[in-house]
Structure 1
């Protein structure tokens, strides 16, 4: 058995544990900083929408020598703020120029400029695509509708099969993942394309899946709390569930992140900007943030909500008292030989009202108090001598 499997088994059995729930303030602080940076990025830089959303013209020319800065400078004289990207299509270098909506005369001028810079004799060799902004608006509207329906169905599912506090925690974790992913998109400056929307919807499902796995184990561990069979509070049972599902969550996320990272590498470094890049970045950030939120946000938030219930507060006090008594009994039953110098004899479990010893004394038969069971053994003559008679 490998070391990771052995460690995972020990986590599942509760032999080793990390207090995820007890350090929830630390995780809330980390998420608060990430959310603050994400919101600031969205307000300062904003999201850059592709032509599919804002409409415009796209020009594609095959050239091995065309300079991106040169063509961008020349096209900017005709159209404001053009976008120039390089892509590798079937081993051929393509330069893609995207502009705002142009009139037919402006389109002709842009084709002529690109053809001149690329050294193309015929401007008709440049592929031109016109995209209407109404199509992108329709995509955005459908995506928002799908997102709302998805969130409502998630709330109903979790509320029916689990409880409403789990549903609320799961939806908050989903919103957490969306805001951070969108903020990173704004910070990096990638364009939001239909592929990006698909990636966003995909990470919602993935994040929910990971959260439901943890919640299912929480429900299993918290079943029958307060009975004589368990001495755990809700927070302790939830923390045990996180530890038990930790290895599964990490392995699942790692296996998913490896191919997504390969897609991002291929889309960015090999093939240039394109659909692969848009989809891969959303998936990469979303899967990583979704795994984090299911462990460090959703479950601690659920435990905080549950501990506000009177029954759970009473159970927590009862559990704390029982565990304190068990620890005191364990301390009192430690053998004398195992006590360390500086311990107390004759005092209580906390070492109070006793005598402090720097060294543990060795006991001998002479030091034992005399009593009926500690009398010296008489010889045969003494044992057979009649009581009260002397020779």
Structure 2
């Protein structure tokens, strides 16, 4: 158990709550603006289409590949490096009347003609648009169901002001993570959905730890006002938060650096989500609960009258 810290050892986190609130609002508005204009770069899991990964003996000229594909009628193809400059990924949306294998052969022929190099196929995937629509619906329902379950959980476990702060922090983390993905044009596939669900669980766990300490300190610290109790609670749990976040980030950074292109998006989402989630547990969840007016009386257990007290009543 953490020990109750003295006032002089407590970090005044709530001193910066107003600045943090303005910062969060600006970042969320920027995320919404990016999602409305740039939208998300949906992967083949959601749109359907063909994905081809090829390897070259020499560094590939992406502009030359794009020009060759454009000349052969594939101007909508997305061409980018992955891993090294000799590895190229080409993504195309579905084409009516053209089978996936036939389309891949046409793409390979166009690339070899334009670059005058022999290429090696590393990966070839086909996905129909109907399956993509089903995955889009299933992924959205998974996130929605998890948020509803979390809303029910925190509503039963905490007083409504704390529960509102916890739910707001979760929405804050998801919106900002998706906004950064929209700005950076990172491809969103099923691994990103899994990462978002992981971020939701991680952020909620951190918030619940802080809220448990806030509730405990409201009952122990009889003389402190709400800001003092919240600052003391966050300070007491700060070492646990930093150690947990730090060790998790070490693993995620390793996945990001050496995990390969297939889980690059997953690791990126976790890096963003864990960082933002640690911030939101302090300056969104706790600060919002304070703004909503949480006080000691809201968190004290209800008084139950004993039989003797009932008999003494007039």
* TM-score (normalised: structure 1): 0.68
1:161-201 deviation per Cα after TM superposition (whole angstroms, max 9, x unaligned): 22222221111000000111111111111111111111111
TM-superposed CA distance for 1:14, in Å, is 4.0
Are the counterparts in 2 of residues 80 and 99 from structure 1 also a CA contact under 8 Å?
A: no
- For structure 2, which runs of at least 5 residues remain unmatched after alignment? 299-314
1:80 partnered with 2:80: no
Secondary structure of the residue that 2:14 maps to in structure 1?
coil
Equivalent in the alignment of 1:275: 262
Are the counterparts in 1 of residues 161 and 289 from structure 2 also a CA contact under 8 Å?
A: yes
1:189 partnered with 2:181: no
Which of 40, 46, 61 is matched with 1:53 structurally? 46
Cα distance between partner residues in 2 of 1:159 and 1:38: 27
1:212 partnered with 2:208: yes
Which of 304, 311, 314 is matched with 2:291 structurally? 304
1:110–1:181 CA distance, 2 compared to 1 (3 A): same
TM-superposed CA distance for 1:140, in Å, is 2.1
RMSD: 2.7
Cα distance between partner residues in 2 of 1:47 and 1:27: 26
Which of 94, 99, 102 is matched with 2:92 structurally? 99
Which one has a larger percent helix, Structure 1 or Structure 2?
Answer: 2
Equivalent in the alignment of 2:309: none
Instruction: Report how many aligned residue pairs link the two structures.
Output: 291
TM-superposed CA distance for 1:96, in Å, is 2.0
TM-superposed CA distance for 1:285, in Å, is 0.3
Larger-Rg structure: 1
Cα distance between partner residues in 2 of 1:284 and 1:232: 36
* TM-score (normalised: structure 2): 0.83
Equivalent in the alignment of 2:306: none
Are the counterparts in 2 of residues 61 and 125 from structure 1 also a CA contact under 8 Å?
A: yes
TM-superposed CA distance for 1:311, in Å, is 5.7
1:20-57 deviation per Cα after TM superposition (whole angstroms, max 9, x unaligned): 22432111011112112212221221111111111111
1:126–1:172 CA distance, 2 compared to 1 (3 A): closer
1:116 partnered with 2:108: no
Cα distance between partner residues in 1 of 2:35 and 2:256: 22
Equivalent in the alignment of 1:261: 253
1:325-353 deviation per Cα after TM superposition (whole angstroms, max 9, x unaligned): xxxxxxxxxxxxxxxxxxxxxxxxxxxxx
Which of 150, 157, 170 is matched with 1:161 structurally? 157
Cα distance between partner residues in 2 of 1:126 and 1:16: 58
Which of 16, 29, 33 is matched with 1:23 structurally? 16
TM-superposed CA distance for 1:111, in Å, is 2.6
Alignment of 1:121-200 (within 5 A): 128-200=124-196
Which of 180, 197, 202 is matched with 1:201 structurally? 197
TM-superposed CA distance for 1:262, in Å, is 2.5
Cα distance between partner residues in 2 of 1:128 and 1:247: 47
Cα distance between partner residues in 2 of 1:221 and 1:136: 49
